[in-house]
Amino acid sequence: SPMMPSPSYHKYDVKDYYNIDPQFGTLDDFDQLIAECDKRGIDVIIDFVPNHCSNEHPWFKKALAQAEKGNFDGYAKYFNIIKNNGDYPLGYNLDPNDNNILYESNFSDTMPEWNYDYQGTKDEIAKAAKFWLDRGIAGFRLDAVRYLYYEDAERSSEVLKWFDDTCKEVKEDVYMVGEDWSTDMSEIAKMYSAGIDSLF
């Protein structure tokens, strides 16, 4: 499971991509783990959640607050937040404070989706990945790669390729394993076209 701060037991709803959940320890503990593993020739891969975050993430809280005031050009751009016109797109949920606002959250209303059509989102996800690579990890187990764009393997694969290429600029031999629970082998093949090392 992810080890970053999160309100849940499973930690897939990350609210801070730059820290360790207190249940698991501290960044100093993590640095010691990496150092001890390095001494023993052990590579460390961490679980990373590029698809969604927690509804307690500060940016999502700001995004909803701004959207409720009619501003969709601030933090709302990091997420898929829209006005409620009476239609409910698949995977969208109501803003609990304003029924005029919907946001994409395919897994749970507590896990809003990042918007990869916005360059700012890519910049921040890349920054978070670099933070951990610079701390000495060998790679990432990437959560829910087929949902980077919901039910769109081709666009999801494009984002996955961008992420893999971006991380290789930091660490040339970074290892990536993506989670894709599809039973459609042609979709799995499309995800492999991103160039990552493995999928399961």
Residues with a known catalytic role: 143, 179
Asked whether the beta carbons of 36 and 134 are under 8 A apart, the reply is no
Largest pairwise CA distance in the chain: 59
| Pairwise CA distance, residues 39 & 29, whole Å | 15
Yes or no: say if 140 and 106 are a contact pair by the CB < 8 Å rule.
no
Write down the H helix ranges in the chain: 27-39, 58-68, 119-134, 153-170, 185-192
Residue the block writes with tokens 């700001």? 62
Quick check: 147 and 51 in contact, CB under 8 A? yes
Axis crossing angle, helix 119-134 with helix 153-170, rounded to the nearest 10: 40
Three-state DSSP state, 73: coil
What's 52's DSSP letter?
B
